[in-house]
Amino acid sequence: MKINKSLFGTTPDGKAVDKYSITNDNGMTLELITYGATIQSVLIPCADGKIRDVAVGFDSLDGHINHSDYEGNTVGRYANRIHNAQFTLNNQKYCVSANEKGKTCLHGGGEFSTAVWDAVEDGNNSVVMSYTSPDGAMGFPGEMKSKVRFTLNNDNEVVISYTAICSADSPINFTNHIYFNFTGSTENNVLAHTLRIDSDAITPVDEDSIPTGELRAVKGGAFDFNEEKAIGRDIDADDDQLHIGRGYDHNFCLNETAGAVITAKEETSGIEMNVYTDMPGVQLYTGNFLDGTIIGKGGHPLIKNAGFCLETQFYPDTPNQPQFPQCNFKAGEVFRSTTKYQFKF
């Protein structure tokens, strides 16, 4: 195991952005950059002799700053959406950043995903990044101190552990927004990848992608991934939810299990990924709004369905949905969460 550090680039306001590369004894490499506490690359040495980068994104810092759809970013304070960019806590109304269509708060207003995080190496296989969000940033209460530990071990597991503590009562919800494509190139879409999600229900959404409050059973429908199937098999089905999202862009309510809650596979590369998490939900997003106008790694356009995201999380809009598993944390109470991506190749 080893870690290498290098300069990835400099932001327009002069902040240095570092890249950390963690390589395990099997030749797998996890690359991280401090801009957005971002997973830059996941390099897999496949059985056919090819090294595939399964993380969709950009070759340069410019792409992350000027063209990103959160590729590989850490997102918070509240991952996913908050209805009308407001919520009430302790009888006080908070108006937060309405950064999506002028009315929805998406991914906490983008603060954490565009910040340059501090980083330190921890041993020979972990990098810990930290960021402090000031009181009132994006309209959220309290000063929040956050840390994300990224680990690559010799079991070919990428482990992401989040901790956060706020000086005021606050909702907290973190995730990583990595887009996967196991073929190693966005010349290919991900519709032939197979997916299994241990989930019996989704939280259906309205035209603004805000949960209606219902838990809708998936059995036998387009959203049923309890048996492994191709991502693209039902993506064009006549389903109101697929019409709204132009594909999958929905929270799946995860069943409690001691094993992997998600498995993804791709035949040509031979890569399999198992996901373990302590979060109650996962957002499956299939890159429906990528349209080829943005250029990604290797000079290839980011086409529709160029990648798929598995954003482990509390459910969207939980601060306004008291029937959902709650994510309000008291002042001084520590938020902790861990998600593990285990690769086989």
Active site includes 177?
Answer: yes
Q: Strand 249-254 and strand 308-313: pairing?
A: unpaired
**Residue 313 CB neighbours (<10 A):** 26
In the block, which residue shows the tokens 């407001």?
86
Nearest one of 4, 62, 55, 61 to 34, comparing CA atoms: 61
Q: Using DSSP, how many helices (H) and how many strands (E) does the chain show?
A: 3, 28
Active site residue 243: no
Contacts of 320 (CB under 8 A, 6+ apart): 82, 83, 87
C-alpha distances out from residue 150 to 136, 188, 251, Å: 27, 28, 24
Q: Please pick, among 107, 177, 193, 250, the residue that the annotation labels catalytic.
A: 177
Phi, psi of 66 (to 5 degrees): -105, -15
**What is d(CA 345, CA 333) in angstroms, rounded to the nearest whole number?**
40
- The CA dihedral of 318, 314, 253, 101, to the nearest 10 degrees, is 60
| Token pair listed for 243 | 């019409």
* Catalytic (active-site) positions: 177, 311
